[in-house]
Structure 1
Amino acid sequence: MTDNSAGLRIGTAPDSWGVWFPDDPKQVPWQRFLDEVVEAGYTWIELGPYGYLPTDPHQLEDELGSRGLKLSGGTVFTGFHKTEEERTRAWDQAVKVAGLASQLGAEHIVVIPDLWRSDATGENLEPRTLTDEQWKKLAAGHDWLGKALLEEYGVKQQFHSHADSHVGTAREVTRFLDETDPRYTNLCLDTGHYAYYGGDNLALIRERPERIGYLHLKQVDQTQLFDVLKNDVPFADAVAGGIMIEPPHGVPELGPIIEAAAAISPDIFAIVEQDMYGCDVDTPFPIARRTRDHIHGCTHMARQF
């Protein structure tokens, strides 16, 4: 399909190759990841967990440039609802991640909140809901981080609601938006995570268009979802069971979401991020290629560059 300058740039991420950690012998080697991204037909990628791709900016620039790849953003993890020390932890990450990503032209940092349940052990780490005081700390922390990222590195914070986190349901996401400053804190709307708790992605885009800064594209397998929720299955276990399914076999439908976001701004990135941690290294590539073909085939508002 011909690229449309009014459409969204479609990219992918290490997560779609099953990469959750900087170093894990079960994960696909980073060189193979980059090669397969190109072969699957993508131009834009995310940094993934810091340390998975080369952290030397010159080496990373060479590796991406030799393959015709570009960087859309990086990822930072936060827990601002806990203690003031969380600001130090967040900034230590930001210095590395935003420092590297911004040197390669990326303009976005996706920020993921700490989970109340461990994604490694399934253990409950803290209560599932926040107190009013914790909500205030959470919002203030993200506005502080977003302002600092913008002023120091010229990158925008895009908050990512997440399964097994304190900001996951539609009501929680709405409260988060109400308590944060749109100058410094907006959303990486992850279509799968939002749908995981029954959120209507199109309704959110329609109701809060000014807060949609970035997209992660994925689908949830509805045939599994209610069993997962009923039986309180940890998110990591649900991922291992295939809860985030290859499009177009799940929900939500991606074409209308891309079109709705493109109507807000063609500068919004739409990054395919199918949670596949624990998969065999040979599994991701054909899925990534089919997913790209599906997206570009289901809407005229998808472009490569």
Structure 2
Amino acid sequence: MSTGLRIGTAPDSWGVWYPEHPRQIPWDRFLDEVQKAGYNWIELGPYGYLPTDPNQLQDELAKRDLKLSAGTVFTGFHKGEEQWQRAWDQAVQVAGLAAAVGAEHMVVIPDLWRSDLTGEALEARTLDAEQWDKLAKGHDRLGKALLEEYGVKQQFHSHADSHVGTRGEVVRLLELTDPQYLNLCLDTGHYAYYGGDNLRLIQEHPERIGYLHLKQIDPEYRFEVLKNDIAFADSAIDVMVEPPAGIPEFGPIIEAVAAIDPEIFAIVEQDMPGVDIDLPLGIATRTRQHIFGCTSFARTR
């Protein structure tokens, strides 16, 4: 068995946040550039960006020697029972497509308390006990259904400007949920955004680390953002920086997670909304070279 994690990338690292947007890179060029940058694994990205016909998607991936690691859905279970149908409608589309081409994971991102389009506050920044209970029960239900219906594992992604971002909030979610149905997509940048120590979380909850997003933040600019209450959507392209310019260091994290399970994915996911489409290829190539240069516990396949 290999001792290194499988390193991949995602549409987000090419600035893709939406199924369609005039400033985003065309999906076929994205796939070409992923191959050129030296990756073999990708995520689906926003549903509808890549082809949604499983046969077409499989063909497009195969001719570039690419494979799919995961899809992504968005949830708001803390808001109430009506959120179940919204989540499951997404899951049927995304998990159905992802599983059809071999993916075994679903990255689940909670709704933000602040709009990612306007920056306005949509609700309170923190949850009360009843909302936490709804959140946890909703994710356990989703994780169970994903596993039983599609053989796909739920990996929860804590996020800036969401209700689950700090160490205390992440740990509380773990305490309230069933490890059979929810583990973490530990996004190293988003966790560090609120001061989280990635290595400590890995060491204290090794059984709950199911997936990685590799990302670095500018540790000083982060405090400008937090102190001045700048929306993440407005700061993402500046606070999330090209490795190795930021924190945390990737090598120790990759090695700690590889010791838990070398089959875990480590997907480079640098937030670059609205970026010039000619920039990502160089950044993605250099990031891959940095990762393979800073640890021997990384592999392409």
Global fold match (TM > 0.5): yes
Name structure 2 gaps, 5 residues minimum. none
Look up the SS of the partner of 2:7 in the other structure.
strand
Which residue of the partner structure matches residue 219 of structure 1? 216
Q: For 1:129-208, what aligned pairs fall within 5 Å after superposition?
A: 129-208=126-205
Q: Name the aligned partner's letter for residue 261 of structure 1.
A: V
* Whole-angstrom CA distance in 1 between matches of 2:191 and 2:198: 7
2:286 maps to: 290
Q: For 1:6-36, what per-residue CA distance to the aligned partner results, in whole angstroms no more than 9, with x for missing partners?
A: 1000000000000000000100100110000
2:268 matched to which residue of 1?
A: 272
Q: How does 1:1-305 map to 2 (within 5 A)?
A: 5-240=2-237, 242-305=238-301
Q: Give the Å deviation of 1:283.
A: 1.0
Task: Give the SS at the match of 1:81.
Answer: helix
Let me know the Cα RMSD of the aligned residues: 0.7
Measure the CA separation in 1 of the matches of 2:186 and 2:72: 14
Q: Deviations over 1:128-158 (max 9, x none)?
A: 0001000000000000000000000000000
1:298 counterpart letter in structure 2:
C
Per-residue deviation, 1:223: 2.6
Partner of 1:214: helix, strand, or coil?
Answer: strand
The whole-number CA distance in structure 2 between the counterparts of 1:5 and 1:181 is 29
Q: Residues of 2 paired with 1:158 and 1:145: CA distance?
A: 11
Shift of 1:5: 1.4
- In the alignment, the residues of structure 2 paired with residue 6 and residue 152 of structure 1 have an alpha-carbon distance, to the nearest angstrom, of 31
C-alpha distance in 2 between matches for 1:175 and 1:106: 28
Could you tell me how far apart the structure 2 residues matched to 1:222 and 1:133 are? 34
Letter in 1 for 2:109: I
Q: In the aligned structure 2, how far is the partner of 1:85 from the partner of 1:31?
A: 36
Secondary structure at 2:78 match in 1: coil
Query: How many positions carry a matched residue from both structures?
Result: 301
Q: Secondary structure in 1 aligned to 2:225?
A: helix
1:83 CA displacement: 1.5
- Stretches of 4+ aligned residues off by more than 3 angstroms: none
Q: Secondary structure at the match of 1:189?
A: strand
- Once the two structures are TM-superposed, the CA of residue 86 in structure 1 deviates from its matched residue by 0.4
- In the aligned structure 2, how far is the partner of 1:8 from the partner of 1:274? 18
Distance 1:223 1:173 in 2: 23
SS of match in other structure, 2:144:
helix
Unaligned stretches of 5+ residues in structure 1: none
Equivalent position SS for 1:111: strand
Amino acid paired to 1:226:
F
Deviation at 1:299, TM superposition (A): 0.2
Query: What letter is aligned with 1:203?
Result: R
Query: Aligned partners of 1:32, 1:158: CA distance in 2, in Å?
Result: 28
SS at match of 1:74: strand
